Amino acid sequence: MTQPTFDPSSIESILHEERHFNPPSDFVDRMGSVYVSSLSDYEKIYNRSISDPQAFWTEIAEQLHWYRPWDRVLEWSPPDAKWFVGGQTNICDNCVDRQVRNGHGDETAIIWEGEPVDNGGPEIRRLTYADLQRETARLGNALKKLGVRKGDVVTIYMGMVPELAIAMLACARIGAAHSVIFGGFSSQAIADRVTDADSRVIITGDGAWRRGKIVPLKDNVDQACETLAAGNRDVDAVVVLKRCENAINWQDGRDHWYHELTAAADEDCPPEAMDSEDVLFLLYTSGSTGKPKGIVHTTGGYMVFTYITARYVFNLHPGRDQVYWCTADCGWVTGHSYIVYGVLPNRVPSLMYEGAPNFPAEDRFWDIVERHRVTQFYTAPTAIRAFMKWGAEHAEKHDLSSLKVLGTVGEPINPEAWMWYHRVIGGERCPIVDTWWQTETGGHMITPLPGATPTTPGSCTLPFFGIDAAVVNEKGEEQPANTGGLLVIRKPWPGMLRGIHGDRERFLETYWRRVENMYCAGDGAKRDEHGYFWIMGRIDDVINVSGHRLGTMEVESALVSHPAVVEAAVVGVPHEIKGTGIAAFVTLESHAEPSADLREQLRDHVAREIGAIAKPDQIRLTDALPKTRSGKIMRRLLRDVAAGTDTEQDVTTLEDLTVLAKLRESEEE
């Protein structure tokens, strides 16, 4: 496997952003208390965290509960890190039981709001730490009864209901690793992930509510089980939560109702003492080649890192009437780290919302903020762009004065969207934390601290404590200010991935071979004259659609698996709401007739193979794809064709120049 060639100087910054915003002068008053309240404090702590990481991380880790203290903070043999070596802990204990032990059992841990709204308003549930303790214990015991043992992988495929968080925590409680699959993925995606993880138990629901419709979760799992059976793989048990009461098929012996299992289960299930480096979860994410990769995170380091980043970046303070809301789905890393694992140990209620932002109307999010007096709000640029399009009037109908900190994650935020967020949602009084991080990093890596860091629209500003981020060339030399390069992390950090499940070679190749002994994030970036980081997007064949990473290769494989398709090339194309949309260039078998109907079929086919998020926005049917003499598809040309811009690029290596002209004519609709 070869790395795509990349010339760092080819990334040029076109943004010249001059607007700066200091943390509001009344921020400390409004918050009551702020962990880091000036840039010089940030610098002092940062310098110490880099010069003496052991002391820094020891102090943080000691704030959590360990059954056995660690012998060494870090063992680093690049690219393998072990954190809190020899220590034993349990993250469910730290999220839940520890709060109960400290006398906070009656406080709210999770506030949940369902999507459907009737005359009495939406359904709202509040779960206390004591509720979570009881429910994770019951489900933990139920899973053990189904044969789940420490180290097994449990697959979770559910809607955004409290039981999703409970299922994750229950696995952690008994020492099973979970693999959460986003509820929007298809049955094929489930089958692939279950196979890769060798998972034998699936927790799902009958259905999930999404924009007033029911997503047939159980049907998708049934289909996945059929696919698995055809490949001689058995799923031992499917646990089904009743939510939508839609009709489902039932396989006796394999299928179990969640409510029946948990009602019959004992409430006594002490959290398992886990080794700091025991696996906590796998989370599948797209790469530039082949199938999704199962990113491996372990227990102790991930726990410490998500706890402290959530605390400082959102300024979470227990006992001060804060309500924190992250709008992500738990199926993505943002939901893992900043709905569940980083937030609960901070003892601030975490709000979960089940459904779509525009159901029943475009003001749903602001309605929720007003109803629950949300103080910290964390969402994605793609959502902000949708809100802008729907209009400020939806937000203006609501009292958003409770908001104190706003956050964004998932892709670079364009300055107009930043300013809109600042003005319309934040009322010009809330710092915005633009957090850069990845599934692989476990938690925030480059981000403002709300009381300390002056912000500039479009920049994720400065590294978090302990994070040695840099922009370098392929030799690992730091680039001068305002020059594009590779974003790398030069020192290990507690939340870093420990590998790709079952694929050591891919782990080395993807992250560690490009620049020696540095973690290469796969993003291009620059630092400006103030040392602020600006992310310029992916350098590989991964496209970021609505803040979700998709490998172009995955979408191509899905297209080629359709009988009418010979060859396909997929590229990103600018899209008003999604940031990047998907354009697919497809050559057909000679028997296939090009038609609008076939295009629609291909779109649906991709949705079935991967999920609706991967549906191409444009499909162009063409006789041939532009290739180099060595047969490589020339994607940069396709990108221009898809975006409708004229090609000023060098085409001397094009095998067949007429192909390009034909592609332009293939313009859809």
Instruction: Tell me how far, at minimum, the Cβ of 338 lies from ligand WTA, in Å.
Output: 9
Site for ligand WTA, residues 487 to 516, rule: CB under 6 A? none
CA distance 535 to 386: 21
Please report which residue ranges of 378-424 form alpha helices under DSSP H: 381-390, 393-396, 415-420
- In the list 187, 289, 435, 455, the residue contacting ligand WTA (rule: CB under 6 A) is 435
Least Å distance, CB 246 to ligand WTA, is 30
* Window 378 to 417, contacts with ligand WTA (CB under 6 A): 409-412
C-alpha to C-alpha distance for 514 and 520, rounded to whole angstroms: 7
Chosen residue from 219, 523, 554, 640 binding ligand WTA by CB under 6 A: 523
x/- mask, ligand WTA, residues 242-281, rule CB under 6 A, reads ----------------------------------------
**Residue 240 or 582 with smaller CB distance to ligand WTA:** 582
End-to-end CA distance of the chain: 37
Q: Which is nearer to ligand WTA, 339 or 409 (CB)?
A: 409
What does 542-599 look like in DSSP terms, one character per residue?
Answer: EEEETTEEEEHHHHHHHHHTSTTEEEEEEEEEEETTTEEEEEEEEEEPTTPPP-HHHH
Q: Where are the alpha helices (DSSP H) in 158-198?
A: 162-174, 187-197
Interface region with ligand WTA, contact rule CB under 6 A, candidates 92-100, 124-132, 435-443, 491-499: 435-443
Shortest spacing between CB 435 and ligand WTA, in angstroms: 5
The answer for residues whose C-beta is within 8 angstroms of residue 601's C-beta and 6 or more apart is 562, 564
Smaller CB distance to ligand WTA: residue 89 or 544? 544
Q: Tell me which amino acid residue 85 is.
A: V
Provide, rounded to whole angstroms, the least separation between the CB of residue 481 and ligand WTA. Answer: 19
By CB under 6 A, the residues from 524 to 583 that bind ligand WTA are: 535, 538, 544, 549
Q: What is d(CA 468, CA 488) in angstroms, rounded to the nearest whole number?
A: 8
- Segment holding 109, helix H or strand E: strand 108-118
* Strand positions, DSSP E, 167-265: 177-180, 201-205, 208-210, 213-215, 237-241, 255-257
User: Contact between 466 and ligand WTA (CB under 6 A)?
Assistant: no
Contact between 224 and ligand WTA by CB under 6 A: the answer reads no
| Smallest gap from residue 658 Cβ to ligand WTA (A) | 36
Rule CB under 6 A: choose which of 99, 188, 334, 557 binds ligand WTA. 334
How far apart, in Å, are the Cα atoms of 438 and each of 177, 495, 610? 20, 11, 21
Q: Tell me the site size for ligand WTA, rule CB under 6 A.
A: 22
Is residue 343 helix, strand or coil? coil
Which lies closer to ligand WTA via its Cβ, residue 71 or residue 576? 576
CB of 421 to ligand WTA, least distance (A): 13
Using CB under 6 A, which of 182, 436, 493, 532 touches ligand WTA? 436
Beta strands in 206-278 (DSSP E): 208-210, 213-215, 237-241, 255-257, 274-275
Q: How far is C-alpha 227 from the geometric centre of its chain's CA atoms? A: 27
Judged by the rule CB under 6 A, the positions of this chain that interact with ligand WTA are 285, 332-334, 409-412, 434-439, 460, 521-523, 535, 538, 544, 549
